[in-house]
Amino acid sequence: MHDVHSRGYSRIRVPFVALFLALALTGAAAADPFASFPPGLSGEYAVYRDYTWKSPTWIGLLRYDETTWGALCVTPSTGSRVSILFRGEISEGAFVLVGQSIISKIGPGDVPAVNYLMKLIPETYRWRHDAASVVPASAGSATIKALLGSSPRSDLLPRAVVTAQDLPTFGGKVSLVWLPETPATGLAGMVGSGGVPVLSLARAGRIRSGGEDEFFGFTPIADAVPGKALSVPAKRVTEKRLVDGIQLTLDGQWTMVADNTYFMGNSAVIIVDTIDLGAMGLPRDNLPLSMVRLFSPSSGGSWAIPGELSLSGTAKRFRIVNLFQDGPTGIRNRDIKLCVPSTDGKKCTVVSLSVQETAYSENKAYFDGLF
């Protein structure tokens, strides 16, 4: 696709605030399709690969609060890196910029990226509030598959929302996919009329106080490095261990280092813990979603691989599976968390298995059967 930025066209609009909107359909108030989406949290961010640039480019949004945002545009091949802080206000149903500050060094070649980000902020608010853009769930299923793959979405999670826009700079009609588990904006990506993604999530997470470098210092993920191979003996003597009410089926390959922690050499670790949901401020009205949002983001030097998240089970016992890549080593680890809420709904016991992906893929049945 041509480099639309070099022509100064108006570009992508990623949504910001307003997680509660009223849609007017056929003159009557309709159910809010975003009602089940949680409010954005301070420090949440999302970075996307934007395929409409001539050279590989990534853009990102960082939420400080409802009207204060950071934005990033990085094109590694040219050395362009533009970072801007924005302040706005909601006026008559629109996001209006009232101030901005460029916090990166820029040169003449960065002007297209600066213009892009300046238009990005106020325009994206409109996408989330365009009542006529919401696509019926049945009609949006093909778009969701094009972006996320064919794996079925768990019924434990709120439905994805698809909205449609006609954006000439993206080739015309495009569809935006929104997921409640995606940090910052809820936007998981955008698909063009030909069914090809034009914007896809690359990294998402939440920074802590003083950790802005995790966002503004973004660089694309490096190639993965294989972990060590693992051969599980066909004949094993197993032993049942009960930890916090959860039964583990372990064998001699595991070493207990604490009453709730077991290691399999350098290949895997199991930790069992019970967390107080209230103390952690986790909403309980949809606990699977809360736990997915807790356990699935990238952080620091750890990358959560988009598209690898899965959720299965029931509300009383469910598994969250992610794939993370360690930044310093490039090794990928499969992260499996079994969550068992207490009967009073105040606590949740979590069994966490982290295993090198090379070992897991070669011994999937074994690791899946540990608990």
User: Residue 163's pLDDT is what?
Assistant: 94
Q: Which amino acid is at 65?
A: D
Look up the CATH number of the domain holding residue 260.
Answer: 3.40.1000.10
One domain for residues 48 and 124: yes
Domain stops at, among 216, 246, 267: 216
Q: With respect to residue 233, please indicate whether it lies within any of the assigned structural domains.
A: no
- Number of structural domains (the chain) is 2
Q: With respect to residue 223, please indicate whether it lies within any of the assigned structural domains.
A: no
User: Residue 324's pLDDT is what?
Assistant: 98
| d(C-alpha 228, C-alpha 361), whole Å | 11
| d(C-alpha 99, C-alpha 96), whole Å | 9
Q: In DSSP terms, which residues pair with 135 in a beta bridge?
A: 162
User: Residue 150's pLDDT is what?
Assistant: 82
One domain for residues 307 and 167: no
What's the pLDDT tens digit per position in 155-165? 999 999 999 99
Check: CB of residue 64 under 8 Å from CB of residue 70: yes
Identify the segments of the chain with pLDDT beneath 70: 1-30
One domain for residues 188 and 298: no
One domain for residues 65 and 181: yes
Indicate if the alpha-carbon torsion angle 79, 85, 88, 93 is positive or negative. Answer: positive
User: Residue 13's pLDDT is what?
Assistant: 33
One domain for residues 164 and 105: yes
Domain extent for 148: 4-216
One domain for residues 123 and 11: yes
One domain for residues 203 and 269: no
> What pTM was computed for the model?
0.88
Q: With respect to residue 153, please indicate whether it lies within any of the assigned structural domains.
A: yes
User: Residue 31's pLDDT is what?
Assistant: 78
